[in-house]
Structure 1
Amino acid sequence: MTRPTRLSLTTFVTLDGVLQAPGAPDEDTTGGFPHGGWSVPYGDEEFGGYMAEVFAGAGAFLLGRRTYDIFAAYWPAFTDPAHPIAAPLNSLPKYVASTTLTDPGWAGTTVIGRDDLAADVRALKEGDTDGELQVHGSGRLARSLLAADLVDTLRLLVFPVVLGTGLRLFPEGSRPTAFRHTGARTTPGGIAINTYAWDGRPRYGSYA
């Protein structure tokens, strides 16, 4: 019997939960967002090493359209087969969730989600993938996957900054979900990295 593929979500957030445009000022200015590039000052060698570890566990990638376009414009230029991030991104299967993309130019890309994104992702998870089905960034896609209970592992990298505005990973009205904490580390630059496993619905009690 084929073992289901685990779907992991790795995302950068601020202390107030913002995930919008961590990598560059013009990455995503939706809503007039003025804080793009907020994660960059906190990057250090340990942070880079951790991300290399994450990518080493990939068997395939699932990306939202905006993140896919950013990655596709950058990573194919890195042809070193030993590069810890470019090599898996360029060689492994990639799935992009989009209702408008018709001709992806990045080799190894399949478009999904035109009719039923959740069903397409469930089918991917039931496939025989040697490694995780990894989602990186992709805020809108991430929220959809969380709402459908499709995320098995959540890697939350919390950066020591508050922005006050911007799109959040868990906006008001998010589906109540419990997670089990499975790992933690902190980089010298102050990034708190926590890993969680999906654990069903919240349980409630009283201290009285």
Structure 2
Amino acid sequence: MGQLVVVEFVSLDGVMQSVLSADEDREGGFDGGGWVLPYVDDVVERVMSEATAGAGALLLGRRTYEIFAGTWPYADMDDPAVAAMNAMPKYVASRTLEELGWNNSVLLGADLVAEVGRIKAETEAETVVLGSGDLLRTLVGHDLVDEYRLLVFPLVLGRGKRLFAEGTAPRRLALAATRSTPSGVLINTYRRVGESGPTA
């Protein structure tokens, strides 16, 4: 049985919207995009490269898939992370896409919970979720995530889409690892602990 691993950039107040560019996601009038860039150091780059190269598959929402599909097929294939991302299966959750042009991309059916269960059963390696905020809300809501690797950036944004939205059911997590980078980013790994519910 494979593990579903979420790898995300978040601000101190939990915002994960439009991390790399202003035009990535302006929904809700968000105009603070590109906020991770001043903090991306060699350690952050290495962590993201290792997470990608070590994955067995990617699980992506429609918006993130389209951004990636417009970039990674044309990137430097000598980079192991780029080569891995292009070669591995990419499972896409979308209600609007009908065709997927990126190599080894698979459009999931309407029953996302069943589809994710099938992927985890068929994939021994990790299936990694990057970005994909709307998809994440469904995954978190159905308690499908086995591990969160959160890169927490040292700034407060005050608004924007959050990883754990208002109304998210309580979850118990255990801190499995933590480290800091020269730019002040905390890289925290959390794993599920037993049954969902409030902490004691």
1:202 shift after superposition: 3.5
List aligned pairs for 1:5-44, cutoff 5 A.
5-44=2-41
Match for residue 158 of structure 2? Answer: 164
List aligned pairs for 1:182-197, cutoff 5 A.
182-197=176-191
List aligned pairs for 1:1-208, cutoff 5 A.
4-80=1-77, 82-113=78-109, 115-127=110-122, 129-199=123-193, 200-205=195-200
Q: TM-score, normalised by structure 2?
A: 0.96
**Residues 169 and 197 in structure 2, CA contact (< 8 A), matched pair in contact too:** no
Total equivalences in the alignment: 199
Secondary structure of the equivalent of 1:58? coil
Paired residue type of 2:48: M
> 2:108, 2:165 → 1: CA distance?
25
> 1:143, 1:198 → 2: CA distance?
16
Deviations along 1:140-175, one digit per CA (max 9) or x if unpaired, are 111211111110110111101111110111111001
> 1:155, 1:201 → 2: CA distance?
19
**Residues 57 and 88 in structure 2, CA contact (< 8 A), matched pair in contact too:** yes
1:46 shift after superposition: 1.1
Structure 2: unaligned runs, 5 residues or longer: none
**Residues 53 and 85 in structure 2, CA contact (< 8 A), matched pair in contact too:** no
Report percent identity of matched pairs: 48
Deviations along 1:74-121, one digit per CA (max 9) or x if unpaired, are 0000252x41321111000101100111111101000014x2111111
**Residues 172 and 199 in structure 2, CA contact (< 8 A), matched pair in contact too:** no
Structure 1: unaligned runs, 5 residues or longer: none
> 2:171, 2:99 → 1: CA distance?
36
With 48-57 and 168-177 compared, the bigger mean Cα shift is at 48-57
> 1:51, 1:97 → 2: CA distance?
22
1:130 shift after superposition: 4.3
1:204 shift after superposition: 4.4
